[in-house]
Structure 1
Amino acid sequence: MFFILTTGPNRLVAPIHHKAMPVRLHDQDETRWLSAPLEEALTLAAPFPAQLVAVA
């Protein structure tokens, strides 16, 4: 089983898919995501910065 957690799109993804984009964590947040209480972990589920994303 697997799942994909989505969030609102950043400005780069919005023209392609206006409703959502997959959550992508910053490398430094991976351990926090796995061990934090739910409310804290969900604060990490934010749109990934557009300047760090490439559309191919």
Structure 2
Amino acid sequence: MKKVRNTVARLSIMGKGGVHDKTNKAKRRREKQSFKKQIRTKDFGPFCLCGL
């Protein structure tokens, strides 16, 4: 005997599919990192030998 399935429940699971975008937290973090990197390269150039 074939099992009767709830079609509504199946459709809600399928709603999770599709393109996986970065979260807003990840986007903000990346922007923050690139901004800090720009500041560092502007102040010290591409390489910083500050510890010597």
Range into which the TM-score falls when normalised by the shorter chain: under 0.3
Higher relative contact order (CA 8 A, sep 6+): 1
Please state which structure has a larger fraction of its residues in helix.
2
| Greater strand content | 1
Q: Give the TM-score normalised by structure 2.
A: 0.24
With the length of structure 1 as denominator, give the TM-score of the two structures. 0.22
